Amino acid sequence: MKADFVLRGAGRLVTCAPGLGEGVLGVIENGALAASEGVVRWVGVESELKSLDFADAVTEIDAGGRAVVPGLIDCHTHLVFAGDRSEEFASRLAGRPYEAGGVRTTVEATRAASDDELARLAADRLGRFLSYGVTTIEAKSGYGLTPEHERRLLEIAARAAGPVEVVRTFMGAHVLPPEYADDPDGYVDLVCKGMIPSLGSLAEFADVWCDKGAFTVEQCRKILRAARAEGLSLKVHAEQLSHSGGATLAAEFGAVSADHLEFATEEDAMALARSKTIGALLPGASMMTGGRYAPARMLIENGVRVALSTDLNPGTSYTENLILMLALACTELKMTPEEAILGVTRHAAAALSREGKIGSLEPGAQCDFVPLDSKSELDLVYHYGVSPAMSVIKDGRIFTGPLADDAPL
C-beta nearest to ligand NIG: residue:
315
**Degrees (nearest 5) of the Cα angle 204, 123, 205?**
10
Residue 336, classed as helix, strand or coil, is coil
**Residue 277 interacting with ligand NIG (CB under 6 A):** no
Rounded CA-CA distance 187/138 in Å is 25
State how beta strands 369-371 and 205-210 pair.
Answer: unpaired
Q: With binding defined as CB under 5 A, does residue 355 bind Fe ion?
A: no
Check if the beta carbon of residue 333 is closer than 8 Å to that of residue 296. Answer: yes
Q: Contact region for ligand NIG (CB under 6 A) — 120-128, 291-299, 301-309, 310-318?
A: 310-318
Rounded least distance, CB 75 to ligand NIG, Å: 12
Footprint (CB under 5 A) of Fe ion, residues 298-327? 311
Could you tell me if 208 and 223 are in contact, meaning their C-beta atoms sit under 8 angstroms apart? yes
Asked whether position 311 contacts ligand NIG by CB under 6 A, the answer is yes
Pick out residues in 225-254 that bind ligand NIG (CB under 6 A).
237, 240
With b for 16 or more beta-carbon neighbours within 10 A and e for fewer, the 26-44 pattern comes to: bbbeebbbbbbeebbbbbb
| Cβ proximity to Fe ion, 199 vs 312, nearer residue | 312
Report what 315 binds from ligand NIG, Fe ion, none; CB cut-off 5-8 Å by kind: ligand NIG
Termini Cα distance of the chain:
31
Rounded to the nearest whole angstrom, what is the least distance from the CB of residue 54 to ligand NIG in the complex?
A: 46
Per rule CB under 6 A, is residue 152 in the interface with ligand NIG? Answer: no
Q: Describe the strand order of the beta sheet including 257-260 as a list of residue ranges.
A: 72-74, 134-140, 165-173, 205-210, 233-238, 257-260, 278-281, 306-308
Assess 313 for contact with ligand NIG (CB under 6 A).
yes
Residue 379 touches Fe ion, criterion: CB under 5 A: no
Please state, as a whole number, how many other Cβ atoms lie within 10 Å of the Cβ of residue 222. 18
Q: Are 266 and 289 in contact (CB under 8 A)?
A: no
253 binds, among ligand NIG, Fe ion, none (CB under 5 to 8 A by kind): none
Could you tell me where the DSSP H helices lie in 201-282?
217-229, 246-252, 266-275
Kindly tell me which of 315 and 337 has the beta carbon lying closer to ligand NIG: 315
Please identify, using beta-carbon distances, which residue of 165 and 239 lies nearer to ligand NIG: 239
285 contributes a contact to ligand NIG by CB under 6 A? yes
Interface pattern 84-123 for ligand NIG (x via CB under 6 A): ------------------xx--x-----------------
Shortest reach from residue 349's CB to ligand NIG, in Å: 20
Q: Nearest distance from residue 237's CB to ligand NIG, in Å?
A: 5
293 or 369: CB nearest Fe ion: 293
Exposed, middle or buried: residue 59 (CB in 10 Å: 0-12, 13-18, 19+)?
Answer: middle
Closest approach of ligand NIG to the CB of residue 393, in Å: 30
User: Which residues contact ligand NIG (rule: CB under 6 A)?
Assistant: 102-103, 106, 209, 237, 240, 285, 311, 313-316
